[in-house]
Amino acid sequence: MDEDLVSCLTRQVREDVVENYLTERRLVGLQIEEVQNQAAEVRAQAQRTGRCLHRLIQLMIQPEMVKRLFLYLKVPPSCYWHDCTQERFARGVRFIRVRALTDRGRFKKLVFEAYLRFYRRMRKYEEAYDELRGLCEAVNLNIKHFHCNFDLLTILSFLKSLDVGAIEQKHFLGENFTAEELASVDQKLYIQQISFEALEVPAPLSLPAPERAEPAIAELVQEVYGKYQKFVKRLLR
């Protein structure tokens, strides 16, 4: 067979490999973008969940009772949920309307309802958190398979054998590379796996179910009302 023909066929095969590589790379890129978008939504959901906790915190009136609440709910210090005492979590939090014959009864219902809403919101957040973690693991597995399916050294050698004009004319590099980036193309061929920690989504709290939490919350309510009755009455107006 003519050597030029063999060379042409070899080149065509390599071009096809590169085209397949870039197609698969774009698909992986879309999956990574999906993870980033979903992470942004989970972070927003964490913010909404934090507002529910902030409302419950406000009902504790004083820091000493907030510490008691955090101790019972096992909120670790220096974590996202511990920071929900800050005012930025107060935005958009609605006051809950409840009815009872006495102020003590109203306050008790108010605290229970606040905890119930916080618990439900945290459960939904936990589902979203787990879903994001599962998606992240799946995409990382796809990235691993992607690298196994392509010989990056062969692709790199072929790309570097092309002149800049040929790369621009054939659009081998698409949106993934530019001619100026060819010198560092070996670094760009490798796709880093997604670090779940780098997504900065706070781990959910494992909260006791409302029926289990009722005795402890009732005790907190009694103590808060007994110590800070004047503040509670002002809060209920």
Specify whether the CB–CB gap between 147 and 191 falls below 8 A: yes
Residue-wise pLDDT tens digits, 104-150: 889 999 999 999 999 999 999 999 999 999 999 999 999 888 777 66
Residue-wise pLDDT tens digits, 15-72: 555 666 777 788 888 999 999 999 999 999 999 999 999 999 999 999 999 999 999 9
| DSSP one-letter string for 149-215 | HS-HHHHHHHHHHS-HHHHHHHTTTTTT--GGGGGGHHHHHSPPPPPTGGG--PPPP-PPPHHHHHH
According to the model, what pLDDT value does residue 158 have? 56
- Global pTM value: 0.78
Residue-wise pLDDT tens digits, 160-189: 555 544 544 344 444 445 555 544 555 556
Handedness of CA 217, 218, 222, 228 (dihedral sign): positive
Residue type, 49: T
Over residues 68-78, mean pLDDT: 93
